[in-house]
Amino acid sequence: MDQNIKNDINFGTDGWRGIIGLDFNFQNLSKVVLASCQELNFQYFSQVKTKKILIGYDRRFMASEFAESIIPVVLGAGFEPVLTSTFVTTPSCSLYVSEFKLLGALVITASHNPCHWLGLKIKSFQGCSVDESFTKKVQQRISLGNKIELINGSYEKVDVKNYHLEKIKSQFDVDFILERLNEMNIKVFIDSMHGSSANSIETLFSNQKKTITGIREDRDPYFGGNPPEPLFNYMNILIQVLKDESHNGNKTLGIVFDGDGDRIAVIDEKGRYCSTQLLLPYLINYLGNKNNNYFPVLKTVSGSDIIKKISESQKRDVFELPVGFKYIAEKMIKENIFIGGEESGGVGFGAFLPERDALYAAMVLLNGIAEQSKYLYQSLDEIQEQFGPSFYDRVDMQFKNDLEKIKFKKYICDNLPNKICGKEVTDISRIDGIKLRLNDNYWVLFRFSGTEPLLRLYCEAPSRRELDKTLRWCKDFINEINN
């Protein structure tokens, strides 16, 4: 065996990922696929009475080849593989298995990770990621070292991508949206970041490129040199396009999707970056004012306080959950939920699918702009005036090794600060990491990565000055301990 190949298989917040050729290789992938198929069968066969398992893939290097390579594994394990006819978004696979009640889906994707990564997401027949207890069972099955004989046989191919788009299109009056956007002189640019969502929104609008234009739609396994993650630092091309096209009274709006189409971010008509910390409040405000239900809202512990304020103004309960959409999905499949979202770009709608879906979220956003005849920036400003002010940022701090991370984690758990920047800590939450509340719209979250020597530092504050000052205090606090 090549000594450079690693055999460690550890699941993160949404599936298993690794570096191509190092820990993500056919040998390891086969182990994960076999164990996943067996666990899908054990947990769900009695409910769906089928052995069909969907296999999907994104546009990464060798993703389609890896997808085809696991077909003999699925066949050898006694299941019926169904392969997508082309690259697809992860939500496309979730919707398909949910609608046709397949046993589950195996999606070859590394989502928003850098180009040298690849991975596997496991979806249940309910149309969402399996939960943590499921992946623990998968890891237990892998440790047993079960082996099968590979079978080369026939399999079904399906057009999952088109099914997903047709389903979304049926929910909206695209002609009305297009007409209203033209009346408002808005030109929308869709940045798929070379990922699986390429050409999707344009297809929904019948390629009306005068109003809806795509960029970075070609396949590029290097993703232009940056991870396909909808963060401000990776949007230089889109921002320049929006500036160049914003003239003669035209407004420009940029919508960005991650590599597998389940995360979204926006550049509004004023050129401001809008993560889901701003978009989720907008969606709750818009949809909540037109819907008659009072179903709860789900947010992760790193979500903005404004999400809670708007939801409560609509007389909705708000549940704060650990980071990871699987925790939101777990509650969505058991209860009537209005909307659920996380700060990293994932938004799911209870009326559509218990899964984050960036394409659907984008259509809701455009529909909101059209129905209200109001630019996005105007709505966001109104929300800030009513429920803010709120400023947010996240900083990732790297430790030298896991030992240093464990040392700091133990120290902060035993020595929580009573004050930060002279402000009293008024509440402590340990739902996921350690969240220290200082005031209204003002908190800090220390959250440690489960797979890397990394600390994620989240902060919301009532002003940009206080945000920068608080993050600086936290970084100094961490560095002082480590030194």
User: Which residue is listed with tokens 């926006």?
Assistant: 266
Does position 220 have pLDDT exceeding 80, yes or no? Answer: yes
267 contacts: CB under 8 Å, gap ≥ 6 = 235, 238, 239, 242, 253, 254, 256, 273, 274
For the stretch 426-478, pLDDT in tens is 999 999 999 999 999 999 999 988 767 889 999 999 999 999 999 999 999 88
pLDDT number for residue 483: 67
pLDDT number for residue 272: 97
For the stretch 113-122, pLDDT in tens is 999 999 999 9
User: Which residue is listed with tokens 């200082």?
Assistant: 438
Does position 7 have pLDDT exceeding 70, yes or no? Answer: no
* Listed range (167-176, 180-189, 297-306, 415-424) with the worst mean pLDDT: 415-424
Where is pLDDT greater, at 86 or 453?
Answer: 86
179 contacts: CB under 8 Å, gap ≥ 6 = none
- Rounded Cα distance, 47 and 474, in Å: 49
pLDDT number for residue 8: 74
Mean pLDDT of 377-401: 94
- Rounded Cα distance, 208 and 116, in Å: 35
Say yes or no: 288 and 335 in one domain: yes
Say yes or no: 423 and 383 in one domain: no
Does position 2 have pLDDT exceeding 70, yes or no? Answer: no
Does position 277 have pLDDT exceeding 70, yes or no? Answer: yes
Say yes or no: 306 and 406 in one domain: no
Q: Answer yes or no: are the C-beta atoms of 454 and 433 closer than 8 Å.
A: no
Looking at the domain assignment, is residue 6 inside a domain? Answer: no
Q: Note the helical H segments in 49-195.
A: 63-69, 71-76, 90-100, 132-144, 160-169, 174-183
**pTM assigned to the model:** 0.94
Structure-block tokens of residue 200: 């999707």
* Listed range (103-107, 207-211, 287-291, 346-350) with the worst mean pLDDT: 207-211
- Rounded Cα distance, 349 and 329, in Å: 10
Q: Answer yes or no: are the C-beta atoms of 459 and 471 closer than 8 Å.
A: yes
- Rounded Cα distance, 412 and 92, in Å: 42
pLDDT number for residue 248: 80
Looking at the domain assignment, is residue 166 inside a domain? Answer: no
Q: What is the CATH number of the domain that holds 269?
A: 3.40.120.10
The type of residue at 105 is A
Looking at the domain assignment, is residue 45 inside a domain? Answer: yes
Say yes or no: 196 and 341 in one domain: yes
Rg from Cα positions in the chain: 22
pLDDT number for residue 3: 42
Looking at the domain assignment, is residue 345 inside a domain? Answer: yes
Q: Is 459 helix (H, G, I), strand (E, B) or coil?
A: strand
Cα–Cα–Cα angle for 293, 295, 301, rounded to 5 degrees: 145
- Of 101, 136, 161, which closes a domain? 161
Looking at the domain assignment, is residue 260 inside a domain? Answer: yes
Q: Answer yes or no: are the C-beta atoms of 279 and 383 closer than 8 Å.
A: no
Looking at the domain assignment, is residue 2 inside a domain? Answer: no
Does position 406 have pLDDT exceeding 60, yes or no? Answer: yes
Mean pLDDT of 147-166: 97
Q: Answer yes or no: are the C-beta atoms of 161 and 204 closer than 8 Å.
A: no
Instruction: Kindly report the backbone phi and psi dihedral angles of residue 300, in degrees, each rounded to the nearest multiple of 5, phi listed first.
Output: -85, 165
In terms of residue numbers, what domain contains 418? 391-482
For the stretch 230-254, pLDDT in tens is 999 999 999 999 999 998 889 999 9
Q: Answer yes or no: are the C-beta atoms of 445 and 434 closer than 8 Å.
A: yes
Work out the mean pLDDT of the chain and round it to a whole number.
94
Say yes or no: 101 and 148 in one domain: yes
Long-range contacts of 28-33 (CB under 8 A, 24+ apart): 29/66, 29/69, 29/70, 29/120, 30/70, 30/73, 31/142, 32/120, 32/138, 32/142, 33/70, 33/73, 33/74, 33/77, 33/106, 33/120
